[in-house]
């Protein structure tokens, strides 16, 4: 679905459901004024049956450029940081923010060792209590 809003002029909706890059015009409303602060949300319903919907891509663009050069430069900087995996800043952010798989597996193994040690200790304790009874 492609939603196009021209500020205070029109709002149109086009659908692409037959073939890729073949848009079918759904409707257009003239003289629409949306609030200055807007939110974009997605929902779907199929009736009584449950179904999954996958959002493949969400792309928003400003049709009106306040300062053309500044906006183009910001888009270039964003795309360079987003798609260039060799930058030092993207590597340092990913390594310092989450921890990674190695840290997860270390915690998983330590948890397993603690559980195993607790089980072995409890088994020895039960065996010693039985010896004391008889």
Residues 110-128 pLDDT 10s:
999 999 999 999 999 988 8
Identify the pLDDT of residue 42: 77
pLDDT score at 54: 78
Q: Are strands 2-6 and 10-15 parallel, antiparallel or unpaired?
A: antiparallel
> How is the chain split into domains, by residue range?
1-63, 65-98, 100-134
User: Phi and psi of 131, rounded to 5°?
Assistant: -65, -40
d(CA 122, CA 55): 51
Q: What is the DSSP letter of 26?
A: E
Structure confidence by residue, pLDDT tens digits, 82-100:
444 444 444 444 444 557 8
Instruction: Give the tens place of pLDDT for each residue, 24-77.
Output: 999 999 998 888 777 778 777 777 777 777 778 787 777 666 654 444 555 555
Of 12, 47, 50, 53, give the one whose Cα is nearest residue 29.
12
- Please, which residues have CB within 8 angstroms of residue 55's CB and are 6 or more apart in sequence? 42
Cα–Cα separations (whole angstroms), residue 107 to 44, 63, 102, 104:
39, 49, 9, 5
Which helix or strand (DSSP H or E) is residue 102 part of?
helix 101-133
């Amino acid at each position: 679905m492609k939603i196009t809003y021209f500020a205070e002029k029109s709002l149109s909706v086009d659908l692409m459901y037959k073939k890729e890059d073949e848009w079918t015009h759904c409707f257009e409303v003239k003289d629409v004024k949306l609030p200055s602060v807007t939110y974009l949300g997605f929902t779907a319903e199929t009736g009584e049956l449950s179904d999954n919907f996958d959002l493949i891509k969400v792309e928003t663009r400003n049709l009106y450029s306040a300062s053309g050069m500044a906006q183009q430069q910001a888009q270039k900087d964003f795309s360079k940081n987003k798609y260039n995996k060799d930058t030092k800043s993207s590597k340092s952010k990913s390594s310092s923010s989450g921890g990674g798989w190695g840290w997860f597996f270390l915690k998983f193994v330590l948890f397993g060792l603690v559980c195993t040690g607790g089980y072995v200790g409890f088994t020895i304790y039960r065996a010693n209590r039985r010896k004391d009874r008889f």
